[in-house]
């Protein structure tokens, strides 16, 4: 017995053949009249006007897409740049504030006062040289020296070196003059003796209300600049005169934002702030003001270069450091924003062209349908004759579809029952994991909420909004964690895919970054110039990294106050695997702890601060990826290694 689908195909073929024969016989007997349009100048003119309007609309749409995309991309760059500026400014302030106590300490030192009271005593001067040398080494400063009221250096921590400051006359320096007037100050300048730049702290030394001399501390802040050079950001620091004395681009250092007036240059020569440096102005070939206090600039490569070549537009943002009259400058490359705008304009043109083609196609189809309507009318009679034969076949198909529909409904009901039964079985396995995995985000939420209250009390609304935005992100991540924990409890193997290790570490770092800042933990991340991809699941890898980082921070918190705290994450790739190391310089692992690391409910933390499930769950997650989690022996602290399968390299 033939299938119903075979009957339909047979009927369709018979109908088509009969229609073709009917049309052929009609065409042989008589020719159907064909209406021919008359040429019309008015219609041609209207058609031309329509095409012109369509082209104009396409151009307007393309320009609007370009402008909107460029503005959106520029605004994103501005927001990111403002954030980066705050980070750089806070880093510099923290570095400078760290040494602010030294001049105060020296002012109160009895030996310093005794030396200034008896400056010609060689024994006191020699003892003070050794004392300043020890203080400078302990504080990590560059040089500490004592100056009398005439500007002559009596003792210095670098007294052993050839370029010692002992005996130098620095009365021309502004920081010394301000300190002698009773105004403690800071000053950045290039050393006239060593040629080494640094930041100088100066404060008068008094006894019984009378000034005896000045204590000066020199700090090297070039290490901060070296950190800028290692990143991709373009950041500069300018003084009140517009001189760039720190820059992530070495070619721009000791240049000026604008030509220096003669009076300013004469004052700099007198104070020797930048010694004999020429301080040429930057070749700013373009400078446009934008909304929000930003500017669009283009900086030329230097003399002898084409000003229009190799000068990409840069979005300039500034932040003032009011006490020191310095200005942080952050530059964002607008080339990518303009490339995105060009791509959006091209896409708008293509989409508009597609719509025009679609319109022409639909109009042509409507015309063809109108021309074929007469032929369809001739076929109606033949279709009516075939209707009776098709009704029987159609009824058979309807009956068969009813049977299949009932079977599909029964199948769906069975599947839903099985799914519900599976969910009920999983609920018993999830409670312990959820309690542990949500503990860290809840701690972060509590900390950020407390910070938000303080920020609101202090009127820092912008930072409070950023805190609330981070809280929203953490809540969203808690939802992700619960979903991943359900998958882990079912012991179902999630599909493995190439995952960026750099992105996973960055996402995990968001939840512990604030805690590292509060605990003053130095964090380093070494992954090499190119990103590394491993076969795993991104959310579950972030769970493991977050657990290892949190455990490391808990261990570092037990160190003595003031001890250096370091947390390092490094990534390396072998031909077949990816190794992720999380190391700290904490107290390390005991023999008992090393033997029971991955045992559930075993913990070295005080009661109430941990369930002992973190490492056990992390080890199971990594094992599900086809990898391993282990602790490597180290001289100091603890080091955990995650070994995953390496994602195939793209060819």
Each residue of 146-183: pLDDT tens digit? 998 888 988 988 888 887 888 888 888 888 888 888 88
> Is a pLDDT exceeding 50 seen at residue 424?
no
Lowest mean pLDDT among 212-221, 274-283, 373-382: 373-382
Q: Which two tokens stand for residue 422?
A: 């599976």
> Is a pLDDT exceeding 70 seen at residue 490?
no
Dihedral, CA atoms, 404, 405, 409, 415, nearest 10 degrees? 50
Residue 459 region, left (φ>0) first, then alpha (ψ -120 to 50), else beta?
left
**What is the model's pLDDT at position 11?**
38
User: pLDDT tier at 192 (50, 70, 90 boundaries)?
Assistant: confident
Mean pLDDT over 317-331 rounds to 84
User: pLDDT tier at 580 (50, 70, 90 boundaries)?
Assistant: very high
> Is a pLDDT exceeding 70 seen at residue 364?
yes
User: pLDDT tier at 20 (50, 70, 90 boundaries)?
Assistant: very low
Opening angle at CA 252, ends 248 and 256, nearest 5: 125
**What is the model's pLDDT at position 324?**
78
User: Is 542 in contact with 507 (CB distance < 8 Å)?
Assistant: yes
Lowest mean pLDDT among 1-10, 70-79, 478-487: 1-10
- If you search the block for the tokens 């590394």, which residue do you land on? 532
Q: Do β-strands 533-536 and 565-573 pair in parallel, antiparallel, or remain unpaired?
A: unpaired
CA distances 433 to 437, 484, 490, 601, Å, are: 6, 10, 12, 11
Dihedral, CA atoms, 554, 558, 564, 566, nearest 10 degrees? -20
User: Is 408 in contact with 22 (CB distance < 8 Å)?
Assistant: no
User: pLDDT tier at 650 (50, 70, 90 boundaries)?
Assistant: low
**What is the model's pLDDT at position 494?**
55
User: pLDDT tier at 639 (50, 70, 90 boundaries)?
Assistant: very high
pTM over 0.75: no
**What is the model's pLDDT at position 577?**
93
* pLDDT (tens digit per residue) in 591-623: 887 878 877 777 777 765 666 677 888 888 899
Q: Per residue in 307-320, is it b (16+ CB within 10 Å) or e — as a string?
A: eeeebebbbbbebe
> Is a pLDDT exceeding 70 seen at residue 463?
yes
Long-range contacts of 282-285 (CB under 8 A, 24+ apart): 282/244, 282/252, 282/255, 282/256, 282/257, 283/307, 284/257, 285/311
DSSP conformation class of 560:
P
> Is a pLDDT exceeding 50 seen at residue 430?
no
DSSP conformation class of 612:
S
Cα gap 143→191, rounded to integer Å: 11
> Is a pLDDT exceeding 60 seen at residue 543?
yes
**What is the model's pLDDT at position 413?**
66
CB hemisphere CA count around 258 (13 angstroms): 8
**What is the model's pLDDT at position 17?**
54
**What is the model's pLDDT at position 491?**
46
- If you search the block for the tokens 């930041």, which residue do you land on? 199
Domain boundaries 494-645, CATH class: alpha beta
> Is a pLDDT exceeding 60 seen at residue 641?
yes
Average model confidence (pLDDT) for the chain? 79
Mean pLDDT over 337-349 rounds to 82
DSSP string, 251-275: GGTT-BSSPPPHHHHHHHHHHTTTT
Residue 534's SS3 state is strand
Nearest to 201 by CA among 180, 164, 175: 175
Q: Per residue in 534-543, is it b (16+ CB within 10 Å) or e — as a string?
A: bbbbbbbbbb
> Is a pLDDT exceeding 90 seen at residue 319?
no
**What is the model's pLDDT at position 341?**
77
Q: Which two tokens stand for residue 344?
A: 């959006």
Lowest mean pLDDT among 129-133, 304-308, 582-586: 304-308
> Is a pLDDT exceeding 70 seen at residue 124?
yes
**What is the model's pLDDT at position 415?**
40
**What is the model's pLDDT at position 630?**
92
Residue predicted with more confidence, 538 or 291? 538
**What are the counts of helices (DSSP H) followed by strands (DSSP E) for the chain?**
15, 18
């Amino acid at each position: 017995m033939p299938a119903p689908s075979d009957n339909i195909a047979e009927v369709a073929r018979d109908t088509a053949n009969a229609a073709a024969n009917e049309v052929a016989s009609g065409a042989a007997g008589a020719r159907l009249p064909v209406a021919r349009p008359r040429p019309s100048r008015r219609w041609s003119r209207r058609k031309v006007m329509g095409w012109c309007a369509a082209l104009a609309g396409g151009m307007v749409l393309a320009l609007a897409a370009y402008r909107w995309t460029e503005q959106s991309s520029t605004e994103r760059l501005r927001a990111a740049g403002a954030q980066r500026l705050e980070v750089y400014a806070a880093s510099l302030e923290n570095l400078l504030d760290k040494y602010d106590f030294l001049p105060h300490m020296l002012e109160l030192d009895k030996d310093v006062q005794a030396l200034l009271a008896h400056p010609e005593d060689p024994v006191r001067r020699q003892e003070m040289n050794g004392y300043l040398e020890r203080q400078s080494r302990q504080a990590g400063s560059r040089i500490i020296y004592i100056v009398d009221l005439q500007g002559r250096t009596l003792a210095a921590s670098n007294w052993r070196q050839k370029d010692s400051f002992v005996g130098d006359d620095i009365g021309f320096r502004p920081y010394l003059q301000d300190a002698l007037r009773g105004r403690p100050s800071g000053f950045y300048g290039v050393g006239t003796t060593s040629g080494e730049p640094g930041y100088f702290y100066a404060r008068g030394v008094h006894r019984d209300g009378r000034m005896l001399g000045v204590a000066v501390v020199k700090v090297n802040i070039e290490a901060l600049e070296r950190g800028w050079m290692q990143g991709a950001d373009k950041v500069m620091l300018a003084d009140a005169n517009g001189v760039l004395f720190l820059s992530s681009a070495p070619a721009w250092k000791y240049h000026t934002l604008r030509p220096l007036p003669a009076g300013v240059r004469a004052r700099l020569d007198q104070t020797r702030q930048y010694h004999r440096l020429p301080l040429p102005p930057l070749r700013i070939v373009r400078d446009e003001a934008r909304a929000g206090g930003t500017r669009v600039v283009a900086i030329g490569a230097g003399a002898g270069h084409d000003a229009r070549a190799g000068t990409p537009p840069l979005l300039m943002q500034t932040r003032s450091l009011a006490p020191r009259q310095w200005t942080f400058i952050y530059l964002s490359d607008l080339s990518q924003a303009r490339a995105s705008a060009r791509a959006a304009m091209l896409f708008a043109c293509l989409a508009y062209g597609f719509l025009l083609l679609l319109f022409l196609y639909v109009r042509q189809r409507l015309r063809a349908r109108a021309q074929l309507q007469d032929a369809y009318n001739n076929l109606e009679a033949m279709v009516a004759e075939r209707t009776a034969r098709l009704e029987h076949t159609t009824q058979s198909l309807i009956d068969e579809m009813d049977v299949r529909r009932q079977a599909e409904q029964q199948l769906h009901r069975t599947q839903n029952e099985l799914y519900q039964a599976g969910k009920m079985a999983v609920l018993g396995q999830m409670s312990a994991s959820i309690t542990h995995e949500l503990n860290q985000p809840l701690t972060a939420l509590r900390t950020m909420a407390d910070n938000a209250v303080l920020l609101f009390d202090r009127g820092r609304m912008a930072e409070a909004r950023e805190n609330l935005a981070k809280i929203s992100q953490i809540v969203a991540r808690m939802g992700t964690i619960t979903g991943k924990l359900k998958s882990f409890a079912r012991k179902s193997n999630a599909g493995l895919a190439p995952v960026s290790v750099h992105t996973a570490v960055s996402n995990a770092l968001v939840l512990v970054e604030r805690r590292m800042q509060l605990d003053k933990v130095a964090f380093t991340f070494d992954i090499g110039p190119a990103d590394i991809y491993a076969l795993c699941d991104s959310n579950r890898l972030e769970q493991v990294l977050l657990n290892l980082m949190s455990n490391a921070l808990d261990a570092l918190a037990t160190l003595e106050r003031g001890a250096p705290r370091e947390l390092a994450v490094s990534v390396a790739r072998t031909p077949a695997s990816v190794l992720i190391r999380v190391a700290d310089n904490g107290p390390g692992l005991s023999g008992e702890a090393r033997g029971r690391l991955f045992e559930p409910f075993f913990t070295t933390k005080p009661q109430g601060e941990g369930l002992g499930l973190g490492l056990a769950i992390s080890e199971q997650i990594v094992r599900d990826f086809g990898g391993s989690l282990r602790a490597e022996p180290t001289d100091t602290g603890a080091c955990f290694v995650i070994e995953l399968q390496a994602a195939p390299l793209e060819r």
